[in-house]
């Protein structure tokens, strides 16, 4: 498989041939099947795909958040030159606490409701990466000297940086006393407290209203610039992917089916799945809306042979069932896992464009809205 | 009942307040004004979209219409009949003509009933004979593009999209006239969402249904609804034909909503109003701001906004807007007004007449 390089010069995170499966009563679920991924220094990378494509599992495997067993993980994960899978738990915790940060999807359930925001932030600032400091060490750092006060100072500064209204009183509030947008800001502040190099964000702000979501994305973008962060973001919303990222990976059925720099991906998507996904998004400009992709994401207990998208693909033919297509690179940072783009393969179809796929999917007729309608397209 | 020109559903000055109890004696200490003076109507076979952030009262409107909540004040007319405070008999009749599809396809199906049984319930309560019911269920499954295999399945065996199809089938099983769709696709993926919207459009054409479509996804509205109503803190802020509202959003809140949508093409980007990010978050409906309810977050707000309450007024070009900027008496007080000339790119040369509406040049 061809390795694709990040846009930025050197990668901070590299995932090579990652496999994640789960043992279950019904058999072995082969969820992540050979994922290659890289994030360059200072690059913002998005992994986009529908529910059940393996996005979150990939992220959890990188951060060792899966219990093994039942999970089975293999493959190499390299963070800034260090192979993460070889590290002991303690060494890994140190790296995770100090150099990587994670923002979870649900701002409600990721904060502990029994502690004030201040306590949670200050603990992170003081003990990030030192989860098992020991009782004596903990007590010394917690109650003696100025360390705690300094950490509190830092937490306050951070809250100001995420534009939290009235940070002093927020420090003494419990998470339930805050609104969704404020909780999300707290989480962002917490993630950035220890000045990480890599930020992993899982569906950030999806639970929020569109205007608040917009504020949060704006804020995040400012922070990415000012802190010089590398970001791996997971989203199901292609619009968000387009808004924030430099490069997008499209994931389907536990595989990365396509990657390209953001503008290229949205203008000339190559994989039939990417095309279908983009065509399915209702447009603000109105106009015909594609009918969506038939079927649903594969069962991982018994995934389809060959290309995992073939049961839903309008261009599927024998070659798609026979073997898994290779990643075909069109440039250093772009590639697609589809035989239609393999020049050595004689396919019964030309490689489709977005417009072809849209036509093939059939469209829903736009509603008549009086004479004005003609002016829309 | 009445002539067909009359709207199917008419809501006049609807109010729904929830009392807040507090203190030792549990006395009413205040009200949450979830819906505060809403008026709108939907014609036969039309789709009206109700959009707004969470907490704006969208779902309460639907719940009040279908009788899950009793209105505090105001009138709801369904096909000419007053159903604001329905009698038991009226409720029976009304429930078979108004149906609702809920947001979460999973929690709205009984996990211990097979799909066939779930679909049977509404017909049973309507007294449809058994043989007819079975036949009808097959028909329904066919209508929502599923087949008889699903009859004996349980909800957990179905995907989200399939479950939502079942919910829709159940809602149309007793041939209602009006469907209240409360965010029917927000729990689904985009490729599935497109399928469900397609299904709803087909059903509307086939069965002559009328929809009240509640959502926060504006791009979906653009493709689906005839009329759009924007709601904020229990009040309508802007209402008009979908094309007009999207082309030239007038109310600062509608503009902010539109400008906040993440889109996927350059073309759409140029279609959005200039970015006008909002300050802060939606205030509590328990303690609504004085004057214009939106003034605390509005980028244009001036002193008058916090003092005088604007009314929902028809402006030139068609839509009704609740904003002082479009009121001649106040216009001079604003330093800046939104540019409502519509999207750039020469798409609308042929409606110059409409851009002559309260233009920004007049104000400066």
Return the H-helix or E-strand segment holding B28: strand B27-42
Judge whether residue B135 has pLDDT over 60.
yes
Choose the final residue of a domain: B184, B212, B227. Answer: B227
B351 → closest Cβ in A280, A282, A372: A372
Q: What is the predicted pLDDT for the residue at B180?
A: 93
Using CA atoms, how far apart are residues B45 and B97, in angstroms rounded to an integer? 14
Closest CA to B159 of B105, B196, B215: B105
pLDDT digits (tens, 9 = 90+) for B235-255: 999 999 988 888 888 888 888
Residue B344 has pLDDT above 60, yes or no: no
Distance from CA of B191 to the nearest CA of A (A): 4
Q: What is the enclosing helix (H) or strand (E) of A95?
A: helix A89-99
Nearest to A326 by CA among A316, A314, A336, A313: A336
β-strand pairing of B313-314 with B320-321: antiparallel
Chain B nearest CA to A155, separation (Å): 21
Contact A307, A324 (CB under 8 A): yes
- Are residue B220 and residue B255 in the same domain, yes or no? no
Q: State whether B39 and B156 are in the same domain.
A: yes
**Chain B positions in Cβ-Cβ contact with residue A377 (cut-off 8 Å):** 347
All residues of chain A having their beta carbon less than 8 Å from the beta carbon of residue B47 are 367
Query: Up-side HSE of residue B330: CA atoms within 13 Å toward CB?
Result: 22
Question: Are B219 and B262 found together in one domain?
Answer: no
pLDDT at B353: 35
Which residues lie below 8 Å from residue B88, measured CB to CB, with a gap of 6+? none
- B241–A214 CB contact, under 8 Å: no
**B238 is a domain residue:** no
B214/B285 same-domain check:
no
Task: Give me B328's structure tokens.
Answer: 């001649």
Do B159 and B78 fall into the same domain? yes
Using the CB atoms, write b or e for B157-190: b if 16+ within 10 Å: ebbbbbbbbbbbbbbbbbebbbbbbbbbbebbbb
pLDDT at B130 over 60: yes
All residues at 6 or more sequence positions from B55 whose CB lies less than 8 Å from its CB, including other chains:
B233, B282, B285
- Same domain (yes/no): B27, B162: yes
B197 & B272 share domain: no
d(CA B231, CA B19): 21
Q: How far apart are the first and last CA of chain A?
A: 42
Residue showing tokens 């459009």: B201
Distance CA A199, CA A180 (A): 21
Name the helix (H) or strand (E) containing B228: strand B227-232
What is the band of B356 on the pLDDT scale with cuts at 50, 70, 90? very low
Strand A44-48 and strand A230-235: pairing?
parallel
Distance to chain A for B80, nearest Cα, Å: 26
Cβ contact (<8 Å) for B265 and A266? yes
Residue A291: partners with Cβ closer than 8 Å, 6 or more residues away:
A280, A361, A362, A363, A364, B194, B195, B198
**CB spacing of A367 vs B260 below 8 angstroms:** no
Instruction: Assess contact for B115 and B155: CB atoms under 8 A.
Output: yes
Instruction: Please tell me which residue of chain B has the smallest CA distance to A288.
Output: B223
d(CA B197, CA B299): 34
Sign of CA dihedral A168, A173, A175, A177: negative
> Are B221 and B242 in contact, with CB atoms under 8 Å apart?
yes
Residues of A in contact with B351 (CB under 8 A): 372, 375
Q: What separation, in Å, do the N-terminal and C-terminal C-alpha atoms of chain B show?
A: 52
pLDDT of B361 strictly over 50: no
Give domain status of residue B236, yes or no.
no
As a whole number of angstroms, the distance between CA B18 and CA A338 comes to 57
Q: What is the pLDDT of residues B50-102, one digit of tens each?
A: 998 877 888 889 989 988 888 899 999 988 888 888 888 888 888 888 999 98
d(CA A272, CA A338): 8
| Domain enclosing residue B98, as ranges | 9-227
Q: Residue B277 domain-assigned?
A: yes
The Cα B99–Cα B102 span in angstroms is 10
> What does the pLDDT average to over B184-205?
85
Instruction: Tell whether B215 and B255 lie within a shared domain.
Output: no
Q: Does the distance separating the beta carbons of B243 and A372 come in below 8 Å?
A: yes
Residue B211, pLDDT > 90, answer yes
Question: What average pLDDT does range B346-353 have in this prediction?
Answer: 38
**Angle (deg, nearest 10), helices A210-227 and A180-192:** 10
Domain boundary among B212, B227, B242: B227
Q: A 223-282 residues with CB below 8 A of B?
A: 236-240, 242-243, 266, 276-278, 280-282
Instruction: Mention every residue, 6+ apart, whose C-beta is less than 8 A from residue B5.
Output: none
- The answer to whether A79 and A99 are in contact (CB under 8 A) is yes
ipTM score for this prediction? 0.74
Give the range among A286-295, B129-138, B329-338 with minimum mean pLDDT.
Answer: A286-295
pLDDT value at residue A149: 85
Of A51, A243, A373, the CB nearest to B243: A373
pLDDT value of position A315 = 82
Strands (E), chain A: 11-24, 27-40, 44-48, 71-79, 82-83, 100-103, 198-202, 230-235, 247-252, 255-261, 289-290, 328-331, 334-336, 363-364
3-state secondary structure of B265: coil
What is the Cα gyration radius of chain A? 23
Contact between B98 and B68 (Cβ < 8 Å): no
Tokens standing for A304? 């389809």
Select the residue of A179, A285, A377 nearest B268 (Cβ to Cβ).
Answer: A285
* B272 → closest Cβ in A277, A284, A366: A284
Q: What is the pLDDT of residue A8?
A: 64
At residue B189, the pLDDT reads: 82
Positive or negative: CA dihedral A89, A92, A94, A98:
negative
User: Quick check: A211 and B257 CB within 8 A?
Assistant: yes
Q: Could you say which of B193, B227, B261 is where a domain stops?
A: B227
Which among B160, B161, B264 has the least Cβ separation from residue A238? Answer: B264
Give which of B48, B193, B264 to mutate to test A binding, by max A Cβ within 10 Å.
Answer: B264
In this prediction, residue B50 carries a pLDDT of 92
- How far apart (Å, rounded) are the C-alpha atoms in residues B325 and B149? 58
State the Cα–Cα distance between residues A112 and B21, nearest whole angstrom: 29
Q: What is the pLDDT of residues B297-320, one digit of tens each?
A: 888 888 888 888 888 888 877 888
Provide, as residue numbers in chain A, all residues whose Cβ is less than 8 Å from the Cβ of B186.
none
| Contact between chains at A209 and B53 (C-beta distance less than 8 A) | yes
Contact check, Cβ <8 Å, A282/B257 = no
Write the residue in B224, B244, B271 that is nearest to A372 by C-beta: B244
Check A209 against B216: CB less than 8 A apart.
yes
Same domain, B257 and B217: no
Closest-CA distance, B124 to chain A, in angstroms, reads 32
Residues A281, B264: C-beta atoms closer than 8 Å: yes
The domain tally of chain B equals 2
Spatial distance between the Cα atoms of A48 and A235, rounded to a whole number of angstroms: 5
Which of B222, B262, B348 has its CB closest to that of A282? B222
Looking at chain B, which residue has its C-alpha nearest residue A207? B54
A163 near B CB under 8 A: no
Quickly state the pLDDT bin for B2 (edges 50, 70, 90).
Answer: very low
Q: Residue B218 and residue A292: Cβ atoms within 8 Å? A: no
Has residue B239 been placed in a domain? Answer: no
> Between B211 and B147, where is the model more confident?
B211
Query: Do residues B192 and B103 share a domain?
Result: yes
Per-residue pLDDT at A289: 67
Q: What is the mean pLDDT of residues B161-190?
A: 88
What sign has the CA pseudo-torsion A152, A153, A159, A161? Answer: negative
Search chain B and give the residue with CA nearest A277: B191
* CB spacing of B216 vs A282 below 8 angstroms: no
Per-residue pLDDT of chain A (377 residues; tens, 9 = 90+): 456 766 666 888 888 888 998 888 888 888 888 888 888 888 899 998 888 888 888 888 888 888 888 888 888 888 888 888 888 888 888 888 888 888 887 777 888 889 998 888 888 888 876 767 777 877 777 777 788 888 888 888 888 888 888 888 888 889 888 888 888 889 888 888 888 889 998 888 777 778 888 888 888 888 888 888 899 999 888 888 888 888 999 999 888 899 999 888 888 888 888 888 888 888 877 766 667 777 777 888 888 888 888 888 888 888 888 888 888 888 878 888 888 887 777 777 777 888 777 777 765 544 433 333 333 33
B17 sits in which H/E element: strand B9-22
Q: Is the dihedral of CA A109, A112, A117, A123 positive or negative?
A: negative
Chain A residues in contact with B280 by the CB 8 A cut-off are 165
Domain assignment of residue B243, yes or no: no
Residues of chain B found within 8 Å of residue A286, distances taken between Cβ atoms: 222-223, 243, 246
- Residue-wise DSSP of A179-231: -HHHHHHHHHHHHHTT--SEEEEESTTTTS-HHHHHHHHHHHHHHHHHHT-EE
Helix axes A272-280, B190-207, angle to 10 degrees: 50
Residue with tokens 């953001």: A262
For B281-294, what is the mean pLDDT? Answer: 84
Q: How many CB atoms lie within 10 A of CB B93?
A: 15
Q: Which CATH number belongs to the domain containing residue B202 in this structure?
A: 3.40.50.300
Query: According to the model, what pLDDT value does residue B346 have?
Result: 40
User: Does A365 contact B201 at a Cβ distance shorter than 8 Å?
Assistant: yes
Classified as helix, coil or strand, B323 is: coil
Residue B84 lies in a domain: yes
Cβ distance of A282 and B263 shorter than 8 Å: no
Question: Which residues from chain B sit within 8 angstroms of residue A376, using beta carbons?
Answer: 243, 347
Does B174 map to a domain?
A: yes
CB within 8 Å: B218 and A365: no
Contact B53 A237 (CB under 8 A): no
Say whether both B212 and B142 belong to one domain.
Answer: yes
Instruction: Read off the pLDDT of each residue in B207-211 and give the average, rounded to a whole number.
Output: 91
* Residues B103, B223 share a domain: yes
B275 found inside a domain: yes
Exposure string over A309-335, b if 16+ CB within 10 A, otherwise e: bbbbbbbbeebbeeebbbbbbeeebbb
């Amino acid at each position: 498989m061809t390795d694709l390089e990040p846009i930025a010069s050197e990668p901070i995170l590299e995932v090579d041939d990652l496999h994640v499966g789960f043992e279950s009563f019904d058999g072995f679920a082969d969820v992540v099947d050979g994922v290659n991924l890289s994030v360059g220094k200072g690059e913002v990378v998005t992994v986009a795909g529908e529910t059940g494509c393996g996005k979150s599992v990939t992220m959890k495997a990188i951060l060792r958040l899966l219990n093994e067993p039942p999970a089975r993980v293999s493959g190499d994960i390299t963070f800034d030159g260090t192979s993460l899978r070889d590290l002991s738990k303690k060494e890994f915790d140190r790296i995770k606490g100090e150099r990587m940060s994670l923002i979870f999807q649900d701002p409600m359930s990721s904060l502990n409701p029994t502690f004030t925001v201040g306590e949670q932030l200050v603990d992170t600032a003081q003990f990030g990466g030192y989860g098992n400091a020991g009782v004596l060490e903990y007590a010394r750092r917690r109650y003696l000297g100025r360390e705690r006060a300094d950490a509190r100072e830092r937490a306050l500064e951070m809250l100001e940086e995420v534009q939290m209204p009235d940070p002093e009183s927020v420090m003494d509030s419990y998470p339930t006393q805050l609104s969704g947008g404020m909780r999300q800001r707290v989480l962002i502040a917490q993630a950035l407290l220890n000045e990480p190099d890599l930020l992993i964000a899982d569906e950030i702000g999806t639970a929020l209203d569109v205007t608040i979501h917009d504020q949060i994305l704006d804020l995040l973008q400012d922070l990415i610039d000012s802190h010089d962060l590398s970001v791996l973001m997971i989203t199901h919303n292609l619009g968000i992917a387009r808004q924030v990222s430099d490069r997008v990976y499209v994931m389907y059925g536990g595989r990365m089916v396509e990657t390209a720099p953001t503008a290229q991906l949205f203008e000339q998507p190559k994989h039939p799945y990417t095309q279908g996904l983009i065509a399915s998004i209702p447009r603000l400009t109105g106009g015909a809306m594609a009918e969506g992709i038939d079927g649903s994401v594969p069962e991982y207990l018994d995934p389809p042979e060959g290309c995992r998208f073939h049961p839903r693909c309008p261009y599927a033919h024998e070659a798609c069932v026979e073997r898994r297509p290779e990643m075909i690179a069109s440039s250093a940072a772009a590639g697609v896992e589809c035989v239609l783009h393999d020049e050595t393969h004689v396919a019964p179809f030309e490689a489709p464009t977005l417009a072809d796929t849209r036509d093939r999917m059939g469209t829903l007729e736009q509603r008549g809205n009086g004479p004005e309608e003609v002016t829309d397209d | 009942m009445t002539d067909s020109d009359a709207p199917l559903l008419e809501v006049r000055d609807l109010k729904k307040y929830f009392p807040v109890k507090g203190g030792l004696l549990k006395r009413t200490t205040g009200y949450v004004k979830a819906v505060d003076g809403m008026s709108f109507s939907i014609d036969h076979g039309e789709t009206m979209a109700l959009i707004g952030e969470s907490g704006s009262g969208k779902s309460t409107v639907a719940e009040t219409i279908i009788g899950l909540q009793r209105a505090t004040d105001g009138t709801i007319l369904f096909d000419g009949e007053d159903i604001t405070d329905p009698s038991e008999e009226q409720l029976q009749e009304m429930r078979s003509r108004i149906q609702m599809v809920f947001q979460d396809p999973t929690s709205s199906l009984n996990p211990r009933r097979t799909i066939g049984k779930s679909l049977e319930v509404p017909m049973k309560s309507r007294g449809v004979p058994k043989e007819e019911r079975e036949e009808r269920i097959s028909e329904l499954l066919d209508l929502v593009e599923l087949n008889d295999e699903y009859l004996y399945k349980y909800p957990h065996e179905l995907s989200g999209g399939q479950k939502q199809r079942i919910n829709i089938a159940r809602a149309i099983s007793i041939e209602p006239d009006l469907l209240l769709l409360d965010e029917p696709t927000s729990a689904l993926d985009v490729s599935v969402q497109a399928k469900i919207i397609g299904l709803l459009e087909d059903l509307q054409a086939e069965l002559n249904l009328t929809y009240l479509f509640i959502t926060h996804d504006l791009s979906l509205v653009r493709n689906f609804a005839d009329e759009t109503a924007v709601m904020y803190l229990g009040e309508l802020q802007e209402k008009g034909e979908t094309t007009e509202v999207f082309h030239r959003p007038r109310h600062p809140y509608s503009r902010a909503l539109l400008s906040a949508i993440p889109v996927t093409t350059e073309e759409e980007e140029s279609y959005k109003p200039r970015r006008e990010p909002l300050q802060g978050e939606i205030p509590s409906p328990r303690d609504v701001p004085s004057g214009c309810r939106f003034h605390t977050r509005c980028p244009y707000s001036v002193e008058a906004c916090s003092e005088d309450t604007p009314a929902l007024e028809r402006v030139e070009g068609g839509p009704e807007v609740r904003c002082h900027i479009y009121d001649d008496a106040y216009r001079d007080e604003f330093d800046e007004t939104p540019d409502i000339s519509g999207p750039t790119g020469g798409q609308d040369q042929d409606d110059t007449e409409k851009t002559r509406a309260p233009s920004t040049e007049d104000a400066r």
